[in-house]
Amino acid sequence: MGKITGKSRWVVLAVSLFLLAGSVFLGRYPAPFITGLSDMIANDLVQQVVLQIRIPRILAAFITGMVLAASGTVFQMIFRNPIVDAGFLGVSGGAAFGASLGIVLLGGSVAAIQGTAALFAVLGLGFSWMMAVRIRFGDWILRLILAGIAVSAMFASGTGLLKYLADPLRELPELTFWLLGGLWGITWTDTLQISAVCLPCLVIIWLFRWRLNLLSMQDETIFSLVADASKERILLLLTAVIATSAVVCKAGQVGWVGLIIPHIARRLVGSDAQKALPCSLILGGFFLLFCDNASRTLLSGEIPLGILTSFIGAGLFLGLLMNHRLLLKKG
Amino acid sequence: MTTAVSMKNLCFSYDRDPVISHMDMALEKGTITAVLGANGVGKTTLLYLLLGLYEPDRGDILFFGKPGNRYTRGRLKQVIGMVSQNDTTPFDLRVDEYVLLGRAPHLGLLTIPGTADQKAAAAALSTVGMAHMADHAVTRLSSGEKQLVNMARSLAQEPEILLLDEPCSHLDLINSRQMLVLMKTIAQQGKTVVFTTHDPNAASAVADRVLLMKKGELVAAGTVDQTITSDLLTRTYGGSVEVIRTGQGPFVRAM
């Protein structure tokens, strides 16, 4: 576990730029897999595809990955639980229910889907919080997680009901594809909208990266070290939820990123969030970029992104479990 | 002498079940106070009241003559620190990274610890004799090692008043002795130490003042000679206790 030196920062930056730039050459137009530089220069339509579709999508994928990984780190550290992500707290469940509501009952416009997804993601957190306050069992962290599980289950039943009610020809395919996740319709407008919400949120989380370590301690220890831990927790949780709902609005349900990427980051640079959070951001960005590149390139049709992230994420998770390295790293 | 902690008519109860009733107490700066009693009598509750984690039902707690609410929250964290039982994190921070967290009250909200903080943390780690474990994962330490590392984290915090909840409970004979010596060293540096224990021998080994607590009442408070007696300990623990006076202080055993 070496120190992150100035030299290694430049190496990470160079590799990042190379991979981001390399993704521009991947796609299925005008031919499968690789788009030649000559095509980009000579063919106006290819230029349009690259400039108007691929580049905003690549940026959106990278930001989405960063947000999910950063939020996962925040949730895991604040809840002192290395196996939670946005799926807890009712955030993802609320967003899925909201989007389903937008598709089935509100006409399925982009604004309806995104608006209701964001609204119910925040409501999911709110419900979980209110229920946790009223539960008379266990400590605050346990109560919040139990409340989040209950709220997620309620939203899941609501989503199931909406699927049952959806028009099987018109609404159900759209609903199913949204629930499976994907970045197929992303435009520059979408990317700029995501960036406007998510980049400030990522900056806030990054600024608090060292303090995340403090917030992972026991309540009485936090109390003896931190002047106002409740405010810091609320700020970071709200920031993570707002950023998550912003990307879930556009990308649908993209699972496992927030769970697995923080683990891999901790394996690589250690558990100190001062180092693990920046590593999570970069890894999350590239993990989602890799999955999205595969999603839009491998087959003639789009592979839903959530399927790929879940398949790869679950495999990595099992790998970590079988190596006994999920919670503890050899010293 | 300066009074570090004053408790005036302190009362606290859980759902009408009194734990602390009308407690008046003054703890001098640079002294060690042992809070002694059976399990569940409210020793840890008293520490949480001092820390400010719990609000008393009635009464006041003053630190160096000022009530806790007259300090800013940030400043209060520099005045009073605590090591609780089983104090740890589920994330395998390195020992030096973990001890560095103790510097939080001395840093701005978004400030990352600098070289001076790292030096303070390293010095604290040396004081508890754990410098050689600096690069080990804190989750892989033994209970005794964790206790010492938690102590180092609190020393890095540099509080004027240090609260220790059962500091010797997970320690073997040698580590327990080391912890008691460490407490004496800290007190000699002018810090005020308050620790809970259910072991009268640990209390009599280091304490300048002993508080004997029984459910809802303070049985006695005073020096070791005044409080570590068969009569008072029998009242405190609700069972027969013998105190054998030796040249090196009292030795206590249950009958």
Q: Please state the φ and ψ torsions of residue A317, each to the nearest 5 degrees.
A: -60, -45
Interface contacts (A, B; CB < 8 Å): 100
Q: Say which of A216, A270, A330 has its CB closest to residue B89.
A: A216
Alpha-carbon gap: B97 to the closest alpha carbon of chain A (Å): 7
Residue A329's pLDDT is what? 42
Neighbours of B114 (CB within 10 A): 10
Q: Which residues of B touch A1 (CB under 8 A)?
A: 94
What is each CA distance from A121 to A71, A181, A281, A321, in whole angstroms? 14, 16, 22, 30
Question: A117-155 in b/e burial notation, b at 16+ Cβ within 10 A?
Answer: bbbbbbbbbbbbbebbeeeeeeeebebbbbbbbbbbebb
Given CA atoms B46, B48, B49, B50 in this order, what sign does their dihedral have?
positive
CA nearest to A204 within chain B: B110
Q: Check if A267 contacts B (Cβ < 8 Å).
A: no
Residue A280's pLDDT is what? 96
Q: Say which of A211, A220, A328 has its CB closest to residue B82.
A: A220
Q: Which residues of B touch A272 (CB under 8 A)?
A: 93-94, 97
Confidence (pTM): 0.89
Average pLDDT over residues B206-227: 92
Mutation target vs A (from B77, B91, B112, B166; most A CBs, 10 A cutoff): B91
Q: Which residues of A touch B113 (CB under 8 A)?
A: 210
CA nearest to A269 within chain B: B93
Mutation target vs B (from A142, A215, A221, A235; most B CBs, 10 A cutoff): A221
Residue-averaged pLDDT of chain B: 92
Q: What is the pLDDT of residues B133-184, one digit of tens each?
A: 999 999 899 888 999 999 999 999 999 999 999 999 878 888 888 899 999 9
Q: Say which of B73, B86, B101 has its CB closest to residue A214.
A: B101
Given CA atoms B123, B128, B129, B135 in this order, what sign does their dihedral have?
negative
CA nearest to B133 within chain A: A331
Mutation target vs B (from A136, A219, A224, A271; most B CBs, 10 A cutoff): A224
Mutation target vs B (from A220, A231, A232; most B CBs, 10 A cutoff): A220
Residue A299 exposed, middle or buried by CB count within 10 Å (0-12, 13-18, 19+): exposed
- List per-block mean pLDDT (blocks of 10 residues) for chain A, which spans 331 residues: 63 86 89 86 90 95 96 91 79 88 86 84 88 82 85 94 90 84 91 94 97 91 90 92 87 89 92 95 95 93 91 89 57 35
Question: What is the CATH topology of the domain spanning B3-64+160-254?
Answer: Rossmann fold (3.40.50)
Q: Which residues of A touch B80 (CB under 8 A)?
A: 224
pLDDT band for position B241 (cuts 50, 70, 90): confident
What is each CA distance from B29 to A179, B33, B64, B211, in whole angstroms? 63, 10, 9, 16
Tokens of B5: 């902690």
Q: Which residues of A touch B77 (CB under 8 A)?
A: 224-227
Let me know: does B224 contact B202? Beta carbons within 8 Å.
no
Alpha-carbon gap: B188 to the closest alpha carbon of chain A (Å): 23
d(CA A171, CA A163): 9
Q: Say which of B86, B92, B113 has its CB closest to residue A328.
A: B92
Residue A6's pLDDT is what? 66
Residue A80's pLDDT is what? 84
List, in sequence order, the alpha helices (H) in chain A. Answer: 6-24, 37-42, 44-48, 55-78, 91-104, 110-134, 140-165, 171-180, 188-207, 211-215, 219-225, 229-251, 257-269, 273-297, 305-322
Tokens of B188: 């000699």
Domain chopping of chain B, boundaries: 3-64+160-254, 87-156
CB pair distance less than 8 Å for A80 and B89 = yes
Q: Check if A268 contacts B (Cβ < 8 Å).
A: no
> First and final CA of chain A: distance in angstroms?
10
More confident residue, A76 or B215: A76
CB pair distance less than 8 Å for B140 and A221 = no
d(CA A224, CA B73): 10
Residues of B in CB contact (< 8 Å) with A are 48, 51-53, 72-74, 76-77, 80-82, 84, 86-94, 97, 101-102, 104-105, 109-110, 112-113, 135-137, 139-140, 157, 163
CB pair distance less than 8 Å for A224 and B92 = no
CA nearest to B135 within chain A: A331
Q: Check if A228 contacts B (Cβ < 8 Å).
A: yes
Q: Check if A213 contacts B (Cβ < 8 Å).
A: yes
Residue A82's pLDDT is what? 80
The order of strands in the sheet holding B80-83 is B80-83, B161-165, B192-197, B32-37, B209-214, B217-222
Residue A2's pLDDT is what? 45
Mutation target vs A (from B101, B145, B153; most A CBs, 10 A cutoff): B101
Q: What angle do CA A271, A277, A282 make, to 5 degrees?
A: 125
Q: Say which of A216, A220, A270 has its CB closest to residue B51.
A: A220
Q: Say which of A80, A207, A220 has its CB closest to residue B90.
A: A80
Q: What does the CA dihedral A158, A160, A162, A163 come to, rounded to 10 degrees?
A: 170
